[in-house]
Structure 1
Amino acid sequence: MTVALVTDSGTGVPPELVERYGVSVVPLQIIIDDESYDEGAEEASPARMAAALKEKRSVSTSRPAPTVFADLYRRLAEEGATEILSVHLSSEVSGTFESAQVAARHAPVPVTCVDTRQVGVGAGYAVESAAVVIARGGTRADAADAARERSARVTSVFYVDTLEYLRRGGRIGGAAAVLGGALAVKPLLGIDNGVITTLEKVRTSARAISRLEERAIQAAGDDEVELTVAHLASAERADALAASLADRLEKQLDGREVRCVELGAVLGAHVGPGMLAICVAPIVPGV
């Protein structure tokens, strides 16, 4: 059996891992002033999207159509795949998983679709775990189980300068409780079973970033972990946060570097410039 691995650009799998494991990535769409671009295209870079938001231009996003997945599944089968595992960001914040499911029903080879119930880097860790299992000769079912288990253990916490972008995109979920005249509040948000939820409300960005770090430390506990700091148009703050976490979690990281990445344009469009996130991913034995 030859298992092909598919994901979407919303999982933020690092390019080097995409290349190493041969992962097929379906791009989400970013729409700026009625022009649609594949996420990852130069015209839809995080920097250009962030600039468009600051300039108050029209920015929106769109999921891939089922036909995009159908075409990919067909091509992978023609190239020799006998099974496909398709791992995606939370169905609570995007219709991407649904598109994959629709296409899977008519694929020429068996397809298992996994809803990670995570967003961005958290979903990316699930894809990476599945890739490792497949590379070691594991079955499609084994890889799907690894993805689900890894995503279930991940903790993602993030800070946004304003809730306005989440409100505009209709993806504020449980965080809606802080709306109604409270958009100036600096919230800490998390992902609970695929839904964006409010963790804390603070009054200053400095306090929010401090609490963000403390929550990551608490989530790591004494476990062996991998760690990623993500940002949008806030590289200096992200680098400082990553350096502090690397020092404070030296034992739990056990020699692993803290990844520091810029969030993709599609997810970035919903959180806005200044966003900082920390993803704590406990190591799963055997993966």
Structure 2
Amino acid sequence: MDVRVVTDSNAMLPASLRDRFGIAVVPLTVVVDGQAHHETDLDATWFCARLRAGAEVSTAAPAPGQLLAAYEAAATSGADAVLSVHVGANQSATVAAAGVAAGMADIPVRVVDTGTASFIEGCCVWRAAEALAGGADVEAAGAAAARIASSAASVFTIGEIARANDGGRLPVAAGEGVPVYCSAGPDMRELARVGDVDEAAAAMAAAVAEAEGPLRVGVGDADAPEAADALEAVLRDLPQVAEVVRYVVGPSVAAHTGAGTFGAVFHPLDGGA
């Protein structure tokens, strides 16, 4: 059976992974100072410059028609079924839209609510695609994605505290220093307050070092490449880190955490076995 993977742009998938597995990405909508854009059309550096300039931004889930178009394109190109893996329903209406679209599709569509966001979602998509490539059926691949959702975690900075608080999704307590957060599933908490980028990288690396390996790690940033480089260098030295990939913290995440955000996502490589 030919099964195609569809996801949304909040997964932050690098082009290398999209191309390797033929994953279709449906964009979220990002509104910048009243003008709507598909996330996949936005340059991340330009967007972060707009954030730093004080732009008003918001995000919205894809419409069911956008997802249906992706399912129809898969069917037209020969797919027998679709595995549609998405940002958590606790954070976005994308899963609901996918459910509506799946009901109108001409081929079976299995919708997976990862309960997560950003590159944790991306790791779920990645593992599902690997499972399909290895011969798994739709249900098994969907279950593999769900296992990654339950085993993955992230550590990250808040680039703009005021923006995070204004958005309401990630309230940050008042205080001095750079907040470093950690998350597992939908749960997020402040891990530490640090004085600079090097201390942030050290705090995040210490959190990753507590996880059992071998680990797959993604390092991402919202226009903070030097900070991400420093974090990547520290993480690559950890003995349990087996694989590191880089990704861009795109507008649908940076809209809530701010320009200058950087961090890492990690999970055991056998978490989706």
Normalising by structure 1, report the TM-score. 0.87
What does residue 237 of structure 1 align with?
227
Aligned-residue sequence identity (percent) comes to 31
Gaps of 5+ in 2: none
Q: Using the alignment, how far apart are the partners of 1:203 and 1:158 within structure 2?
A: 12
What does residue 19 of structure 1 align with?
19
Q: Using the alignment, how far apart are the partners of 1:11 and 1:19 within structure 2?
A: 14
Q: How does 1:23-172 map to 2 (within 5 A)?
A: 23-41=23-41, 44-172=42-170
What does residue 253 of structure 2 align with?
267
Q: Which amino acid aligns with 1:270?
A: H
Q: Which amino acid aligns with 1:22?
A: G
Deviation string for 1:209-257 (max 9, x for gaps)? 43222111112x3x1111111111111111011111111x1x3234x3x
Deviation string for 1:88-147 (max 9, x for gaps)? 122222221221112112222221111112221111111111111111222101110111
Q: Using the alignment, how far apart are the partners of 2:265 and 2:182 within structure 1?
A: 10
Is the aligned partner of 1:210 residue 2:202? yes
1:253 aligns with one of 241, 263, 271: 241
Q: Using the alignment, how far apart are the partners of 1:203 and 1:252 within structure 2?
A: 25
- Structure 1 consecutive aligned stretches of length 4 or more whose deviation exceeds 4 Å: none
1:227–1:54 CA distance, 2 compared to 1 (3 A)? same
1:46–1:183 CA distance, 2 compared to 1 (3 A)? farther
1:52 and 1:59 in contact (8 A); partners too: no
3-state SS of paired residue (1:69): helix
Q: Using the alignment, how far apart are the partners of 2:241 and 2:201 within structure 1?
A: 21
Q: Using the alignment, how far apart are the partners of 2:207 and 2:272 within structure 1?
A: 27
Q: Using the alignment, how far apart are the partners of 1:168 and 1:286 within structure 2?
A: 36
* Count of residue pairs brought into register by the alignment: 272
3-state SS of paired residue (2:160): coil
1:286–1:26 CA distance, 2 compared to 1 (3 A)? closer
The CA deviation at 1:161 is 3.4
2:147 and 2:272 in contact (8 A); partners too: no
Q: Using the alignment, how far apart are the partners of 1:189 and 1:82 within structure 2?
A: 41
Q: Using the alignment, how far apart are the partners of 2:136 and 2:62 within structure 1?
A: 28
Deviation string for 1:18-76 (max 9, x for gaps)? 111111110112222222221121xx211111111111122222211111112222232
Q: How does 1:171-190 map to 2 (within 5 A)?
A: 171-172=169-170, 176=171, 178-179=172-173, 182=174, 184=176, 186-190=178-182
2:127 and 2:148 in contact (8 A); partners too: yes
The CA deviation at 1:203 is 5.2
3-state SS of paired residue (2:260): coil
What does residue 276 of structure 1 align with?
262
Deviation string for 1:167-202 (max 9, x for gaps)? 222312xxx4x44xx16553222334324x223342
Q: Which amino acid aligns with 2:195?
A: T
